Chains A and B, each alone.
Chain A
Amino acid sequence: MNKATISARDLTYRYGDLTAVDHINFEVGEGEVLGFLGPNGAGKTTTVRMLTGQLRPTEGSALVLDEDISTSAKQVQQYLGVSFETTNLYEDMSAVENLELFARLFNLRNFDAMELLEKVGLSGREKERVSNYSKGMKQRLMLARALINHPRILFLDEPTDGLDPVSSQTIHAIINEASAGGTTVFLTTHDMVEADKLSHRVAFINKGQIAAMDRPAVLKQHYGKRTLKIEVQDGQGGTHTQSIPLDGSETAKQVEQVFASGSVLTAHTEEATLEDIFIQITGRGLLG
């Protein structure tokens, strides 16, 4: 891992008696994409709010770009880009006006809104009021707004939720490009495929605690079981599927037996998904 840009130490937040985030510890390196996964109410948004200086931790601390975010939020926010889960744009202003406003808040000189709008595929409609935009366009504009200051850390909360594949692809490309340029991406998502595809590492958060955190491949290797799925023709003209674990001591023998029967129609290997692993680790689904 490159030099850490985010470092959480016993980070805790309580809403009255409810502990939303419970002594979590993790680090995220420069240019790394961290997928932060968990069901609703697991503590994802509270964590992001603490890391972006919107909430002061009840206990513990978070170093963001080597500064304690709870005491130096404004200095750190100069280098952060945040895209929220719910649309929070100025709908009665155009895309250009939205971006120019935030450019002024970041004190950016010679800011070119069109360059960013082209990047997110919104050029040509830049002077329209945002209220006329589709959900995908608004989401892309929010991403453009988060990129306005060339952030060193990009916090993205469900950036592709409910979007069409084309819009999702655009956003994925931007995330990869940002990461390649050295920007740390803290990605909160429900979409396991997206997390698997984009993240260098993923963290599973459940009931305010980090249940597991590693590279997707390592998690799959550690928790998941690769299996061989074989579709077999039975005696009555129907078919059934057999699953044979690939990493067992009897694997070779079982496979040999099935193929010897001469009734195999198809065979393919199957890997555990991140969702399977999440359920295995936490005992609950991501949507639960």
Chain B
Amino acid sequence: MIRALIEKDLKLYFRNPFFALITLLSLVLVIALYFLLPAHAEDSLSTALVLPADTSAEMSAFLSEAFESELLDSQDALMKAVEAGDYSAGMVLTDAIIDDLANGRPVDVPVYTTPGMTPELKQALTSLYTAGLNNVNYVSAEEQLHINDHVIVLGPDLLDINEALALRDRMLPMLIMMMFAIELMGLANLISEEVTRGTVKALLVTPLRVRQFFSAKMLMGVGLAFLEVMLLAAATGKLFVSPAIVVSALLIGSLLMTGVAFFIAAFATDFMSVMAWSVLFLLLLMLPGFNVMFPTMASAWIKVIPSYYLVEPLHLALNYGAGWAQVGSNLLILFASGLAFLLLGSALLRRRFQ
């Protein structure tokens, strides 16, 4: 009986032109998007420098090397080049600044940067210029300076890869959430239609039991969601970093999404209300995905959202090869949340059609 219902649901899911198209299209587009994004993080800084016109050739060469910058002719040219994105940043050293440096006086140097520069790059830029200015100051004033260079790795570095994560890898948990989102809407719509069209009543006056009806919906929902996100994880090659953990996280995540779909279907009365409820839930469920992309975005409250316990272990497992010790507790919380949503959604749905 359960098998008959699952086959029927799959048939109906893919006969709905909207969901059939959007499911296949989003899978292809999300995989394409992943590969279109740069495979490595852009962590190099290109900088420019403008010096007074009468600076000697030796001094120019020294300063260019000290600041690892390309020399430009004028402040105007520098500003245009930075604005056009030719350089990450630029600095103009006037006669007064060079004089202050030569005499060991404190200096105030304006630095031009492109808008939207990440905090990591700004920090790197500050280090570069501070080191350069101290270097110049040391050579000019012959004062002993203590400059320590050290590498700062932002975020967890479980693999000790010692390099920044590419944007596409930071985006991967978010892309997985997007795939879940499509499936969630499709399943919620399928269940909601079953109730609003009264077909569930026809099913339940046969020997089919309510628990078999819910089991079929759950298996279909979890199966479809799991298959889609597994395809995505496999296509990106990330599935094989920590296969057991990734598969577990995706499977439990599918359970959570199916539970949420049950919950939505219990309230939605037609296609539009399925969409409205889905958007509401998805905005919330996707926040942890944004948090991975922009780590400074949210604080501890993000942990209240159940999908945090899906996104976080996925991020750690997919991108850093985390082990069970790092993600085990998150997966347990995820499982509990998924189960809670599933039971609550089932109870509400049952009330609706009985």
Contact = CB atoms under 8 A, between A and B. Distances in A.
B199 A90 contact: yes
A232 B193 CA distance: 61
Given A74-B207, A104-B4, A106-B207, A54 B12 contact: no
Interface residues of A, number: 26
Contacts, number: 59
Contacts of B354: 54-55
A102 B1 CA distance: 9
A16 B12 CA distance: 37
B201 A84 contact: yes
A93 B205 contact: no
Interface string B177-202: 00000000000000000000111011
B16 A105 contact: no
Contacts of A84: 198, 201-202
Contacts of B199: 88-90
A120 interface: no
A86 interface: yes
Contacts of A102: 202, 206
A74 B202 contact: no
B207 A77 contact: yes
Contacts of A74: 207, 209
B24 interface: no
A215 to B, nearest CB: 29
Interface centre among B4, B8, B15, B202 (most CB of A within 10 A): B202
Interface in A91-132: 91-93, 97, 101-102, 104-107
A269 interface: no
Contact of B207 (A78, A91, A101): A78
B12 A82 contact: no
Contacts of A82: 202, 205
Contacts of B16: 92
Contacts of B202: 82, 84, 88-89, 102, 145
Contacts of B208: 105
Contacts of B204: 54
Chain A binding surface SS class = loop
A91 B8 contact: no
Contacts of A91: 197
B132 to A, nearest CB: 68
B28 interface: no
A101 B8 contact: yes
B11 interface: yes
Nearest to B3: A104
Contact of B206 (A77, A92, A97): A77
Interface string A149-170: 0000000000000000000000
A149 B35 CA distance: 54
B12 A80 contact: no
B85 to A, nearest CB: 51
B11 A97 contact: yes
A52 B203 CA distance: 12
A53 interface: yes
B205 A90 contact: no
Interface in B1-52: 1, 4, 8, 11-12, 15-16
Contacts of A78: 207
Given A54-B354, A77-B207, A93-B11, A105 B4 contact: yes
Contacts of A53: 205
B206 A88 contact: no
A84 B206 CA distance: 13
Given A104-B1, A105-B206, A105-B207, A90 B201 contact: no
B197 A88 contact: yes
A133 B12 CA distance: 18
A273 to B, nearest CB: 32
Contacts of B203: 105
Nearest to A103: B4
Nearest to B196: A88
A125 B1 CA distance: 27
A232 B11 CA distance: 69
A97 B198 CA distance: 17
Contacts of A86: 198
Interface of A: 52-55, 74, 77-78, 80, 82, 84, 86-93, 97, 101-102, 104-107, 145
Given A84-B202, A104-B1, 19 more contacts: A54-B201, A77-B206, A84-B198, A86-B198, A88-B197, A88-B199, A89-B199, A90-B8, A91-B197, A92-B12, A97-B8, A97-B11, A101-B4, A104-B4, A105-B4, A105-B203, A105-B207, A107-B207, A145-B202
8 contacts: A54-B354, A82-B205, A88-B199, A88-B202, A92-B16, A97-B8, A104-B4, A105-B208
A-B pairs, 5 with minimum CB distance: A88-B198, A104-B4, A105-B206, A82-B205, A92-B15
